[in-house]
Amino acid sequence: MKKLLALLLLVINSCNSEAQLASLEATAYADAIKTKDIQILDARTSDEFKSGYIKNALQANWLNKAEFEDRTQHLDKNKPVYIYCLSGGRSAAAGAYLVSKGYKVTNLEGGMNAWKMNNLPVAGGSNTPQTSMDSYLGQVQSTPIVLVDFGAEWCPPCRKMEPVLDAFMKANAGKLTLVKMDGGVEDQLMKSLNVEALPTFILYKNGKEVIRKQGLVTQEEFTSWLK
């Protein structure tokens, strides 16, 4: 009985040790993310992200639990996640949450502060001008049917939608125009149009909004919008 108990404790401890959040200092982290089939996740706010981020990073604000849960559910559990924030605290908490959900996660020790101190490359940080409402209206009125995609490269569900959107547009070439709006830039336009999350798809017919949906859309659903 004692041997059985000891074996059971060994198995439990082994499982617990495997489900721990790993961490790496900046240079080792930079080497690790050069590997293929990994996912990089920025746990900071969208404003922090816009100031500069690690190339190819997705973004989900840990301080906004609803957003974080919604976006991270689209991560691939078969691929390791490399997470970071400004100084390492938020990403450690977020990483622990993801570990509890079955993801293999590695945290960046010291966050972006440590990354920059080691003179590692930072993407973004540019002051891209935003689209005016007049310009936007001009685009949605340019052809009889226009599909607007409010998304971003760093948004997990947006990336998941890319092949679906590509297939839909190829299947309906010449029937409609696709307008892509960068949700990481167009915050004023999104506010004016009450676009609250990414991705959001809006279909216009003759310049008037007829359908809107937030989140994932199937190719079949997109096709039904054209009827």
Say which of 155, 165, 189, 193 is annotated catalytic.
155
Residue 132 has pLDDT above 70, yes or no: yes
Query: What local confidence, expressed as pLDDT, does residue 163 receive?
Result: 97
Query: What local confidence, expressed as pLDDT, does residue 19 receive?
Result: 66
Domain range spanning residue 175? 133-225
CB 71 within 8 A of CB 60: yes
Q: What is the pTM of this model?
A: 0.76
Q: How far is CA 80 from the centre of its chain?
A: 15
CATH of residue 212's domain is: 3.40.30.10
Query: What local confidence, expressed as pLDDT, does residue 153 receive?
Result: 86
Query: What local confidence, expressed as pLDDT, does residue 1 receive?
Result: 53
Q: Is 15 known to be catalytic?
A: no
112 and 25 within one domain: yes
44 and 110 within one domain: yes
Reported as a single tens digit per residue, the pLDDT across 13-32 is 434 434 699 999 999 999 99
Say which of 94, 105, 148, 158 is annotated catalytic.
158
State whether residue 153 is helix, strand or coil.
coil
Domain boundary among 85, 117, 149: 117
Measured between alpha carbons, how far is 161 from 214 in angstroms, rounded to an integer? 12
Domain boundary among 90, 117, 144: 117
Residue 125 has pLDDT above 90, yes or no: no
Q: Is 158 known to be catalytic?
A: yes
**Number of domains forming the structure of the chain:** 2
